[in-house]
């Protein structure tokens, strides 16, 4: 099945957490790392997040680079229940780049109508045990002409993409703090029963960004 090239971006503590137990994630990494994330956004056709990230962080996901990119990346959200606040920042700046919501409109026709009214494009997709069928989402994005997607989390979306075998590259920004086992994990459960089943990546770059490290990995 054709799909876009997927880059997974993670901004974590030393122990691989993307937020505190209460969901606070802004900001784990420093200014230099965050500036690189803006450039990564500008270099991709779309930026994708899970619905919980929208509900918790309310990001705009536009690329704030200087100068701004010639074309801003589209914003893509996955949500089974279309449970996205209509006053989310992304809809406030919808003129800058489209917002595409993948979910199940039949679950909530009322929310479907509300999100369409604020300018979202709703794409119907089936769900499985772990949420929307991400393989179907990626196939549809490819059909819509998206060649590259930056997945910015959270941990559940990241795990779904890994499970689907869809992550081609990882951009990992690691900050020198620890958040502990009750912090939100960079990747939700994957339930591998043997190391041999775990996907391996090859490190292709390692840089210092002020106090942080930036590691880049390609699928091995
Ligand atoms: N440090 C970082 O780089 C970074 C980046 C992003 C987020 N975060 C943090 O991560 C936390 C959110 O992460 P999270 O793991 O709880 O949630 P998430 O991955 O952002 O979103 C998960 C939600 O997405 C929807 N979903 C639908 N289909 C899915 C599928 N196939 N796979 C995964 N999700 C699917 C579900 O919501 P519905 O019920 O609506 O279907 C699910 O609850 C927040 O605290 C945020 O601050 C940190």
Lowest model confidence (mean pLDDT) among 15-24, 87-96, 108-117, 124-133 = 124-133
Question: CA-to-CA distance for 49 and 165, rounded, in angstroms?
Answer: 17
pLDDT on residue 149 = 98
Q: Which atom of ligand 1 is nearest to the CA of 10?
A: 3
Q: Band of the pLDDT at 106, cuts 50, 70, 90?
A: confident
Tell me: pLDDT of 129 over 90.
no
Residue-wise pLDDT for 3-48, tens only, equals 999 999 999 999 999 999 999 999 999 999 999 999 999 999 999 9
φ/ψ bin of 168: left (φ > 0), alpha (ψ from -120 to 50), beta (otherwise): alpha
Q: What is the pLDDT of residue 24?
A: 93
Nearest by Cα to 152 from 65, 31, 25: 25
Q: Which numbered atom of ligand 1 lies nearest the CA of 130? A: 31
- Per-residue pLDDT at 64 exceeds 80: yes
Q: Which of 129, 102, 97, 96 is nearest to 115 (CA)?
A: 102
Which residues are within 8 A (CB) of 170 and not within 5 positions of it... i.e. 6 or more apart?
A: 7, 8, 9, 10, 201, 215, 216, 217
pLDDT for 71 beyond 90: yes
Q: Answer yes or no: are the C-beta atoms of 25 and 55 closer than 8 Å.
A: no
The residue to mutate among 156, 162, 174, having the most atoms of ligand 1 within 8 angstroms of its beta carbon, is: 156
% of residues, the chain, pLDDT over 70? 100
- Supply the mean pLDDT for the chain: 96
For residue 125, is pLDDT > 80?
Answer: yes
Intra-chain end-to-end CA distance of the chain, in Å: 20
- Segment 132-147 shows an average pLDDT of 97
- 91 three-class SS: helix
Q: Which of 7, 13, 154 most suits a substitution to test ligand 1, by most atoms within 8 Å of the C-beta?
A: 154
Fold assignment, 5-219: Dihydrofolate Reductase, subunit A (3.40.430)
Task: For residue 211, count other CB atoms closer than 10 A to its CB.
Answer: 13
Rounded CA gap, 72 and 63, in Å? 6
pLDDT band with cut points at 50, 70 and 90 for residue 95: very high
How far are the Cα atoms of 38, 46, 68, 176 from residue 23, in angstroms, in the given order?
22, 24, 30, 18
Give the Å distances, CA to CA, from 49 to 22, 67, 188, 203, 210: 19, 24, 14, 24, 26
Q: What percent of the chain has pLDDT over 90?
A: 94
Q: CB–CB of 180/165 below 8 Å?
A: no
């Amino acid at each position: 099945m054709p799909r876009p090239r997927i880059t997974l971006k993670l901004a974590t503590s030393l122990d691989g957490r993307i937020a505190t137990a209460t969901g606070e994630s802004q900001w784990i990494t420093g200014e230099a790392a965050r500036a690189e994330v803006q450039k990564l956004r500008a270099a991709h056709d779309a930026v994708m997040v899970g619905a919980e990230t929208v509900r918790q962080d309310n990001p705009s996901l536009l690329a704030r680079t200087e100068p701004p990119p010639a074309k801003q990346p589209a914003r893509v959200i996955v949500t089974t229940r279309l449970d996205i606040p209509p006053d989310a920042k992304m809809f406030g700046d919808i003129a800058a780049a489209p917002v595409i919501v993948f979910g199940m409109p039949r679950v909530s026709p009322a929310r479907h109508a509300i999100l369409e009214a604020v300018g979202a494009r709703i794409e119907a997709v089936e769900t499985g045990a772990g949420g929307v069928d991400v393989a179907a989402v990626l196939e549809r994005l490819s059909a819509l002409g998206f060649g590259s997607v930056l997945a910015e989390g959270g941990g559940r979306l990241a795990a779904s993409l890994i499970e689907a075998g869809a992550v081609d590259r990882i951009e990992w920004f690691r900050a020198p703090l620890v958040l502990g086992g009750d912090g939100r994990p960079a990747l939700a459960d994957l339930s591998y029963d043997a190391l041999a089943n775990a996907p391996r990546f090859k490190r292709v770059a390692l840089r210092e960004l002020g106090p942080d490290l930036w590691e880049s990995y390609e699928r091995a």
